[in-house]
Amino acid sequence: MSDTETRAEPSGPEQPVRTQRDVVTLLEALPYIREFHGRTVVIKYGGAAMTDPALKQEFARDVALLKYVGINPVIVHGGGPEITSYMERLDLPVNFVDGLRVSDAETVTLAKMVLVGKVNKDIVLLLGRHGQPAVGLSGDDGLLFRCSRRSAPSGQDIGFVGRIDSVNIGVLTHVAEDYIPVVASVGADEEGNSYNINADDAAAAVAAALGAYKVMFLTDVAGWFRDRDDPGTLVAETSVSELRAALAEVSGGMRPKLAACLAAVEGGVPSAVIVDGRVPHSLLLELFTNEGQGTMIVPDAGADR
Ligand SMILES: Nc1ncnc2c1ncn2[C@@H]1O[C@H](COP(=O)(O)OP(=O)(O)OP(=O)(O)O)[C@@H](O)[C@H]1O
Ligand SMILES: [Mg+2]
């Protein structure tokens, strides 16, 4: 106890009784805290954890805790549902190909407004209110992302959807010294054309460029199901070559997510994990316990790290 602290009143009937177990839980986390101390962990924030009010608060508390224990969290986010909701209000057509949003010029402008002006600031505010000041960035800030136009995996044109050709980590490492960086997944090419970037792609690019220790993708599903419709086929762990062979068969939003996991691990990140963001404190469970439940992608056995 510090000098300024006072001892709590003895537990009343309505207060939980503190037990040895609470301390054991803390001690169990210690080896993990030691392992992750000083490491960069990139978190792709999305799904229910970004929309459900209670999960949002818990996410912010978890990320703040990571920073407090000396881990360097970097948040990368999209904002699919919010973009869609504003598009519908403006009667703009909403289309996806292979899990990627078809983006004409108007869609990109709107996506940029919603992601940078609203979603990003909501996250920054939330983290700040949980005691860890955050700073929002887009791919344009500090020339963070240099993008070019990409097509869907099928080769179909999907408009102003960007691939990240390079990440200039200067601004991120500066910001991360004192703040939690929160990155919105938009960027521009050399000519100044803006692009909508799939947030999974952006998280992978950021993780690889920062030499992150881990990249985590929070989503609304327990992980990758080998058979999309059968949760019993959840893949707990897979390697780069196994995943590369299976990727062409994967559809929907899981496709870009797995492609991003592959890119991150091939880019030198030791592990990429898809985590069920609907489970309260899934970030902490994954990082600080043996109870990780999602899908983990690791390098091939014997591959150079
Ligand atoms: N084989 C599969 N296993 C698991 N989920 C799958 C599979 N194939 C397709 N999906 C779909 O992929 C979805 C996850 O991707 P989605 O893009 O919808 O979410 P997100 O990336 O977490 O959120 P956002 O794109 O809004 O940031 C799942 O909810 C599921 O519907
Ligand atoms: Mg997605």
131-160 per-position pLDDT tens digit: 999 999 999 999 999 999 999 888 999 999
Mean pLDDT across the stretch 103-111?
A: 93
CATH of the domain at 104: 3.40.1160.10
Q: What is the pLDDT of residue 303?
A: 74
Mean pLDDT across the stretch 175-181?
A: 97
Mean pLDDT across the stretch 63-78?
A: 96
Residue 79 resides in a domain = yes
**Which ligand 1 atom is at minimum distance from the Cα of 257?**
21
Whether the CB of 119 sits within 6 Å of ligand 1: no
Whether the CB of 294 sits within 6 Å of ligand 1: no
Q: What is the pLDDT of residue 282?
A: 94
State the ligand closest to the CA atom of 274. 1
Whether the CB of 77 sits within 6 Å of ligand 1: no
The preferred substitution site among 183, 220, 275, 283 for testing ligand 1, maximizing ligand atoms within 8 Å of CB, is 220
Task: From residue 48, give the alpha-carbon distance in Å to each of 40, 53, 172, 287, 301.
Answer: 24, 9, 26, 19, 34
Least confident span in 146-160, 196-210, 228-242:
146-160
CA 168 – ligand 2 centroid, Å: 24
- What are the tens digits of pLDDT across the range 266-286? 999 999 999 999 999 999 999
**Which ligand 1 atom is at minimum distance from the Cα of 77?**
27
Mean pLDDT across the stretch 111-126?
A: 97
- 27 vs 209, residue with greater confidence: 209
302: exposed, middle or buried (Cβ count in 10 Å: 0-12, 13-18, 19+)? exposed
Number of folded domains in the chain?
Answer: 1
Q: What is the pLDDT of residue 39?
A: 98
- What are the tens digits of pLDDT across the range 60-70? 999 999 999 99
**Which ligand 1 atom is at minimum distance from the Cα of 81?**
26
CA 15 – ligand 2 centroid, Å: 41
Mean pLDDT across the stretch 290-301?
A: 89
Residue 15 resides in a domain = no
Whether the CB of 252 sits within 6 Å of ligand 1: yes
- Confidence band, pLDDT 50/70/90 cuts, at residue 12: low
Quote the crossing angle between the two packed helices 199-210 and 170-178, to the nearest 10°.
Answer: 80
**Ligand 1 atom 13 nearest Cα:** 253
Residue 11 resides in a domain = no
Structural domain including 135 reads 37-298
Q: What is the pLDDT of residue 9?
A: 56
Least confident span in 147-151, 180-184, 275-279, 290-294:
290-294
Residue 13 has pLDDT above 80, yes or no: no
Whether the CB of 36 sits within 6 Å of ligand 1: no
CA trace torsion 51, 56, 62, 64 (10° rounding): 110
Residue 32 resides in a domain = no
CB-CB neighbours of 177 under 10 Å: 7
Least confident span in 2-16, 64-78, 204-218:
2-16
Residue 178 resides in a domain = yes
Q: What is the pLDDT of residue 231?
A: 94
Report the percent of the chain where pLDDT is more than 70.
94
Residue 303 resides in a domain = no
**Ligand 1 atom 15 nearest Cα:** 253
Residue 219 resides in a domain = yes
Quote the crossing angle between the two packed helices 105-112 and 80-89, to the nearest 10°.
Answer: 120
The preferred substitution site among 76, 228, 247, 261 for testing ligand 1, maximizing ligand atoms within 8 Å of CB, is 228
Residue 194 resides in a domain = yes
Q: What is the pLDDT of residue 71?
A: 97
Mean pLDDT across the stretch 37-48?
A: 95
State residue 103 phi and psi, 5-degree precision: -125, 100
Whether the CB of 243 sits within 6 Å of ligand 1: no
> Considering the chain, what is the average pLDDT of its residues?
92
| Residue 85 token pair | 């909701």
Look up the pTM and report it.
0.92
Q: What is the pLDDT of residue 190?
A: 96
Mean pLDDT across the stretch 176-190?
A: 97
Tell me the C-alpha distance between 30 and 130, whole Å: 22
Residue 76 has pLDDT above 70, yes or no: yes
User: Which residue is associated with the tokens 């797995």?
Assistant: 258
**Ligand 1 atom 18 nearest Cα:** 253
- 7 vs 137, residue with greater confidence: 137
Whether the CB of 136 sits within 6 Å of ligand 1: no
**Ligand 1 atom 7 nearest Cα:** 228
**Ligand 1 atom 25 nearest Cα:** 80
